[in-house]
């Protein structure tokens, strides 16, 4: 197992962006930037014996900071915080006090606001090569940042195992009651040459999804997926039942015991023989097939566009801060936020 840190020479507010590389003894390789806790590369051996990168991204970290890219920020490969997905009407109440957020998705707030955790330089606080290659990043979000209350300290550990598992372990503490809902926004494509993902076979272990309004904000109601295009309880091609102009942008409530680490989804690409299995302690997984993805000059000079990748965003229920029937997303000063999500890569033998 190997861990390597490489300074990029790129600074934001005096903080240098570092590239951290994790490599296991099989040659599986993950490159992470402490800017946005971005997973920049995730390279594995496919069934054809080729080393293949399964995540979208850019060749250098400066491209993630490009003004044009950030105008329609797709959050490629980055951590999302303080709050994943949409908070309806960009406001919430805790202990009788209302907090107003920036409206950056129509009338709603999305993915932590205008400058969420995906645009912050995190501190590298620990690296290790044994028992597994790992790095721990830390970010302190100050009271009032993007409208959220409390000073929040978040630790995120990336650990690469010999079984080709990339484990993301989150912890967070606050000095004031606050809203928190973290996720990671990796864009995956398991085909050797990338491109449209409609032929990927997907299974999501969820019998229900969340109803949402025209602005994609959930309203607290569950929709059974049986006998609808939303049904992925059995493996099927992503494009089998979709509207090819819309794809999927839907939150699935996982069939699981709350808090248990269990299998959320499994995705297979026949042309590479790769399987991506995602395990999580979180109660929901948001499926996004990248309808709005627009990014130029990605890896190998490729331009990324709609339906070039899929995201499985493990998290708590979106807008739960405003819906009392959902599992709480309020973190108290005496509490500890924890989450584990695992990306496991294997071969379809």
313 is catalytic: yes
- What is residue 1's predicted lDDT score, i.e. its pLDDT? 84
In angstroms, the CA 45 to CA 152 distance is 38
- Look up tokens 């997973």; give the residue: 39
In angstroms, the CA 196 to CA 85 distance is 24
Long-range contacts of 25-31 (CB under 8 A, 24+ apart): 25/1, 25/162, 26/162, 26/164, 27/51, 28/160, 28/164, 28/345, 30/158, 30/160, 30/166
- Look up tokens 């015991």; give the residue: 257
In angstroms, the CA 274 to CA 33 distance is 25
Residue 320, SS3?
Answer: helix
Structure letter (DSSP) for residue 349: -
- What is residue 177's predicted lDDT score, i.e. its pLDDT? 98
Give yes or no for residue 40 having a pLDDT over 80. Answer: yes
CA nearest 242: which of 233, 228, 229? 229
Helix (H) or strand (E) holding 70: helix 67-71
Report the CATH number of the 2-347 domain.
2.70.98.10
Per-residue model confidence as pLDDT tens digits over 209-267 = 999 999 999 999 999 999 999 999 999 999 999 999 999 999 999 999 999 999 999 99
- What is residue 60's predicted lDDT score, i.e. its pLDDT? 94
Q: Which of 75, 111, 184, 185 is catalytic?
A: 185
Give yes or no for residue 111 having a pLDDT over 80. Answer: yes
In angstroms, the CA 21 to CA 199 distance is 31
Cα atoms in the 13 Å half-sphere on the side-chain side of 19:
16
C-alpha of 71 from chain center: 19
Residue ranges covered by each domain of the chain: 2-347
Contact between residue 32 and residue 20 where contact means Cβ atoms under 8 Å apart: yes
Per-residue model confidence as pLDDT tens digits over 278-326 = 999 999 999 999 999 999 999 999 999 999 999 999 999 999 999 999 9
Question: Cα 80–85–91 angle (5° rounding)?
Answer: 105
Give yes or no for residue 349 having a pLDDT over 80. Answer: no
Give yes or no for residue 61 having a pLDDT over 90. Answer: yes
185 is catalytic: yes
In angstroms, the CA 98 to CA 318 distance is 18
Give φ, ψ of 147 to 5 degrees: 95, -5
Contact between residue 292 and residue 305 where contact means Cβ atoms under 8 Å apart: no
Per-residue model confidence as pLDDT tens digits over 88-109 = 999 999 999 999 999 999 999 9
Q: Which of 184, 313, 316, 317 is catalytic?
A: 313
- % residues pLDDT > 90 (the chain): 98
- What is residue 12's predicted lDDT score, i.e. its pLDDT? 94
Average pLDDT, the chain: 97
3-state SS record for 88-149: HHHEEEECCEEEECCCCECCEEECCCCCCHHHCECEEEEEECCCCEEEEEEEEECCCHHHCC
Contact between residue 306 and residue 247 where contact means Cβ atoms under 8 Å apart: yes
Give φ, ψ of 74 to 5 degrees: -85, 0
- What is residue 225's predicted lDDT score, i.e. its pLDDT? 98
At 53, list the tokens.
């990168």
Give φ, ψ of 49 to 5 degrees: 80, 10
Task: Tell the burial category of 271 from Cβ atoms under 10 Å away from its Cβ (0-12, 13-18, 19+).
Answer: middle
- Look up tokens 């999501």; give the residue: 204
Predicted confidence band of residue 4 (pLDDT cuts 50, 70, 90): very high
């Amino acid at each position: 197992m190997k861990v390597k840190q490489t300074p990029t020479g790129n600074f934001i507010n005096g903080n240098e962006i570092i590239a951290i590389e994790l490599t296991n003894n099989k040659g599986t390789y993950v490159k992470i930037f402490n800017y946005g806790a971005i997973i920049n590369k995730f390279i594995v051996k496919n069934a054809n014996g080729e080393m293949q990168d399964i995540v979208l991204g850019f060749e250098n970290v400066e491209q993630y900071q490009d003004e044009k890219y950030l105008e329609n920020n797709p959050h490629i490969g980055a951590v999302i915080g303080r709050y994943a997905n949409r908070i309806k009407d960009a406001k919430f109440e805790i202990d009788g006090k209302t907090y107003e957020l920036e409206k950056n998705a129509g009338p709603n707030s999305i993915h932590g606001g205008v400058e969420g955790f995906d645009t912050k330089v995190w501190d590298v606080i620990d690296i290790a090569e044994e028992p597994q290659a790992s790095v721990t990043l830390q970010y302190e979000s100050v009271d009032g940042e993007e409208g959220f209350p409390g000073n929040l300290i978040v630790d995120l550990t990336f650990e690469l195992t010999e079984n080709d598992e990339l484990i993301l372990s989150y912890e967070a503490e606050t000095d004031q009651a606050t809203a928190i809902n973290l996720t990671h926004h990796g864009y995956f494509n398991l085909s050797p040459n990338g491109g449209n993902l409609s032929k990927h076979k997907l299974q999501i272990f969820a019998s229900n999804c969340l109803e949402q309004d025209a602005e994609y904000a959930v309203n607290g109601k569950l929709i059974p997926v049986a006998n609808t295009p939303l049904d992925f309880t059995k493996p099927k091609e992503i494009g089998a039942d979709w509207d090819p102009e819309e794809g999927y942008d839907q939150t699935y409530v996982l069939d699981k015991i709350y808090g248990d680490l269990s299998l959320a989804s499994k995705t297979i690409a026949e042309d590479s023989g790769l399987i991506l299995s995602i395990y999580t302690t979180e109660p929901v997984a948001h499926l996004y097939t990248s309808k709005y993805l627009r990014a130029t000059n990605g890896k190998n000079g490729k331009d990324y566009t709609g339906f070039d990748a899929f995201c499985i965003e493990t998290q708590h229920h979106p807008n739960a801060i405003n819906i009392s029937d959902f599992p709480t997303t309020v973190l108290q000063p005496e509490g500890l936020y924890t989450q584990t999500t695992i990306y496991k890569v294997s071969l379809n033998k």
